[in-house]
């Protein structure tokens, strides 16, 4: 029905800051302005709830032609509004095919939040509670130990290993001294939200890295094989750099840049503790690094995680729950820098694969930046289709944006994050490790914690 398409267009316009909600409603030329305004307002009010339900139900994965904003309007009306009474048109049978799953996900969300009414979800969503429930993710540093040995160490300390998680529900159920292996990343352990491991001997010795799951995805998806030359363009504080070094097995070279001398000094300490020996640190603005410099002629992989608003960071949500979104002026300035950095990175002559990531939830810093850089590359690069079963995809800002990944406390139990993987169109015929990351990763059997212990994990002081 026309009202759904009109409402989706208004929502998209509001999110991309094309105008005010009222202004866009009146500019839509839709005949029943009052009806359209009410539908958009209510859909926007329940936006976080609808995002979670749609992602957890896998609606956009199942219905490839259904755009995110239209899906949100339709699901609102189906679950929270009039229920398609007298309207729905060609979308009605499509949504009704998924009705049972959508209703089940809404019910599950209410159970998790401890509420009984739909309206109560708004009160929960206005508080930082969801951010406080993000679990403690711990990446095992494979330069010093392995997952099996780390698991054995925790078991000897009285923790209960629950095996590999089968999904988000297993992770949500974690309590006390129980922990799991992440279902996607084979070196990522998952503990209950309030677990504090800063004083743990394995962390102090650099065998463990306290790193959110979403923050682990960029290096994993870049997937440089050992021996590669890699640029980490905006590297501090260094967690992603240490992850890249682990993937490289310290074989090859990482050129890590950052402008902040204090952050670089802290990063050098972190990398030394993690056993990283293949990294060359430089106090330099990445925008001033020349792609024609012979030192970088073999760089085929770039990780670009530039300065951003930090609007997706759980710690920011908890510490500044009323901070809201950054101002339009700050967003424009950040996006301009991010676009310059991404376009600059794409000019390195040997580049084959690049991962762009932010801890922002703002379209201006994410999909808009990627779209502009792709247009500027004149067809030399394209978005790689990665992790097809990841539940939270990019906003439908341009064709192909669904290949981007998003993350949030509600949909993925992580901090808010954005990731895009760009690959050169003229890919060599040989199959690389990075190409393997384009398809869903097949997890190896979950460690049982009974294998030979490496000395490094048993003696964390070394």
Residue that the structure tokens 């999904």 belong to: 167
Give domain status of residue 181, yes or no. yes
Token match 């978005």: residue? 383
User: Quick one: average pLDDT of 35-48?
Assistant: 84
- pLDDT score, position 459: 44
Lowest-confidence region among 11-20, 149-158, 196-205:
11-20
For residues 69-91, give the mean pLDDT. 77
Residue 223 confidence class, pLDDT cut points 50, 70, 90? very high
Q: Is 305 annotated as a binding residue?
A: yes
Q: What 8-state DSSP symbol labels residue 157?
A: T
* Structure confidence at residue 141 (pLDDT): 98
Q: What would the mean pLDDT of 19-47 be, rounded to a whole number?
A: 80
Q: Does residue 448 form part of some domain?
A: no
Domain count, the chain: 3
CA–CA separation, 147 and 246 (whole Å): 13
Residue 462 is predicted with a pLDDT of 41
Nearest to 11 by CA among 64, 76, 58, 63: 76
Average pLDDT on 423-440 reads 59
Confidence (pTM): 0.71
Query: Does 238 show up as a binding residue in the annotation?
Result: yes
Assigned domain for 318 exists: yes
- Mean pLDDT of all residues in the chain? 86
pLDDT of amino acid 413: 94
pLDDT band at 448 (very low <50, low <70, confident <90, very high): low
Same domain (yes/no): 186, 231: no
Q: Is residue 170 part of a domain?
A: yes
Residue 403 has pLDDT above 50, yes or no: yes
* pLDDT, greater one: 279 or 435: 279
Parent domain of 323: 217-424
**Reported confidence tier of residue 29, pLDDT bands at 50, 70, 90:** confident
Question: Which CATH number fits the domain that encloses residue 194?
Answer: 3.30.70.1170
Find out whether 199 is annotated in a ligand binding site. Answer: no
Task: Based on the fold, state whether residues 94 and 194 are members of the same structural domain.
Answer: no
Q: Which of 71, 90, 121 lies at the terminal end of a domain, its last residue?
A: 121
Closest-CA residue to 211 (of 145, 311, 137): 137
Do residues 30 and 5 lie in contact, with contact meaning Cβ atoms separated by under 8 Å? no
> Active site includes 359?
yes
- Pick from 94, 121, 148: which residue ends a domain? 121
Q: Does the residue 404 lie in any domain?
A: yes
**Does 224 lie in the same domain as 202?**
no
Do 164 and 117 fall within a single domain? no
Last residue of a domain, one of 70, 94, 121: 121
Residues 252 and 174 in one domain: no
- 345 and 380 belong to one structural domain: yes
Q: Is 235 annotated as a binding residue?
A: yes
Max mean pLDDT among 19-23, 65-69, 359-363 falls in: 359-363
In a domain, 445, yes or no: no
Place of tokens 């009605």: 92
Check whether residue 66 and residue 148 sit in a common domain: no
Mean pLDDT on 31-53: 84
Comparing 55-59, 130-134, 313-317, 418-422, which segment has the lowest mean pLDDT? Answer: 313-317
Tokens of 289: 């690094």
Do 159 and 79 share a structural domain? Answer: no
Cα-only R_g, the chain? 23
The two tokens of residue 185 are 């990343």
Q: Is the pLDDT of residue 201 over 90?
A: yes
Burial class for 322, CB neighbours closer than 10 Å (0-12, 13-18, 19+): exposed
| pLDDT band (50, 70, 90) for residue 149 | very high
Same domain, 196 and 340: no
Dihedral of alpha carbons 384, 344, 392, 72, sign: negative
Residue 7 lies in a domain: yes
240 known member of a binding site: yes
| 237 backbone dihedrals φ, ψ, rounded to 5° | -85, -10
The predicted-structure confidence for 13-24, as pLDDT tens digits, reads as follows: 766 556 667 777
In a shared domain, residues 241 and 314: yes
- Is 285 labelled a binding residue? yes
Ligand-binding site membership of 182 (annotated): no
pLDDT-based confidence at 131, cuts 50/70/90? low
Q: What DSSP element (H or E) covers 412?
A: helix 409-412
Choosing from 278, 359, 362, 404, the catalytic residue is 359
pLDDT (average), residues 121-133: 55
DSSP 278: S
Is 258 a known ligand-binding residue?
A: yes
Would you say 109 and 168 are in contact if contact means Cβ atoms under 8 Å apart?
no
Q: Is 239 labeled as ligand-binding?
A: yes
Q: Is residue 392 part of a domain?
A: yes
Kindly give the residue spans of alpha helices, DSSP state H, lying in 126-252. Answer: 129-132, 147-156, 168-172, 201-204, 213-222, 239-248
Which one, of 195, 238, 149, lies nearest residue 460 by Cα?
A: 149
More confident residue, 157 or 39: 157
> Lowest-confidence range among 13-27, 81-95, 282-296, 312-326?
312-326
* Residue of 411, 417, 419 whose CA lies nearest to 47: 411
224 and 201 in a common domain: no
Task: Classify 360 in phi/psi space as left (phi over 0), alpha (psi -120 to 50) or beta.
Answer: beta
Residues 299 and 380 in one domain: yes
């Amino acid at each position: 029905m026309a009202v759904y398409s009109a409402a989706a267009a208004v929502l998209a316009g509001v999110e991309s800051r094309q105008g005010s909600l009222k202004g866009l409603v009146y500019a839509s030329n839709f005949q029943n302005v009052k009806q359209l305004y009410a539908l958009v307002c209510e859909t926007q009010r329940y936006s976080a709830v609808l995002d979670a339900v749609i992602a957890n139900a896998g609606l956009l994965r199942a219905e490839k032609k259904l755009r995110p904003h239209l899906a949100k309007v339709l699901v609102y009306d189906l679950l929270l509004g009039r229920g398609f009474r007298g309207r729905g048109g060609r979308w009605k049978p499509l949504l009704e095919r998924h009705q049972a799953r959508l209703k089940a996900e809404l019910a599950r969300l209410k159970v998790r939040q401890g509420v009984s009414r739909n309206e109560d979800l708004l009160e929960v969503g206005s508080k930082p509670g969801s951010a406080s429930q993000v679990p403690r993710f711990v990446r095992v540093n494979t330069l010093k130990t392995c997952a099996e040995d780390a698991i054995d160490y925790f078991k000897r300390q009285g923790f209960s290993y629950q095996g590999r998680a089968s999904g988000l529900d297993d992770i949500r159920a974690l309590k006390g001294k129980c922990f799991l292996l992440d279902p996607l990343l084979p070196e990522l352990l998952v503990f209950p939200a309030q677990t504090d491991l800063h004083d743990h001997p394995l962390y102090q010795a650099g065998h463990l890295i306290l790193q959110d799951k979403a923050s682990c995805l960029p290096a994993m998806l870049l997937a440089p094989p050992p021996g590669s030359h890699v640029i980490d363009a905006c590297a501090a504080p260094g967690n992603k750099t240490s992850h890249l070094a682990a993937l490289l097995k310290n074989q090859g070279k990482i050129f890590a840049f950052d402008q902040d001398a204090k952050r670089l000094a802290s990063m050098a300490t972190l990398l030394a503790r993690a056993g990283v020996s293949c990294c060359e640190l430089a106090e330099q603005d990445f925008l001033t690094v020349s792609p024609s410099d012979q030192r970088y002629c073999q760089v085929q992989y770039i990780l670009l995680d530039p300065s951003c608003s930090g609007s997706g960071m759980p710690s920011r949500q908890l510490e500044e729950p009323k901070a809201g979104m950054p101002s339009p002026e700050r967003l424009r300035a950040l996006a301009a820098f991010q676009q310059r950095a991404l376009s600059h990175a794409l000019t390195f002559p040997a580049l084959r694969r690049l991962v762009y990531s932010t801890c922002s939830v703002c379209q201006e810093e994410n999909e808009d930046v990627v779209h502009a850089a792709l247009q500027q590359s004149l067809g030399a690069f394209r978005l790689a289709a990665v992790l097809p079963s990841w539940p939270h995809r990019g906003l439908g800002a341009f064709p192909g944006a669904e290949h981007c990944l998003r993350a949030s406390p509600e949909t993925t139990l992580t901090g808010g994050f954005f990731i895009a993987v760009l690959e050169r169109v003229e890919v060599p015929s040989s199959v690389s490790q990075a190409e393997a990351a384009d398809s869903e990763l097949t997890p190896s059997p979950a460690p049982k914690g009974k294998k030979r212990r490496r000395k490094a994990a048993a003696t964390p002081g070394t």
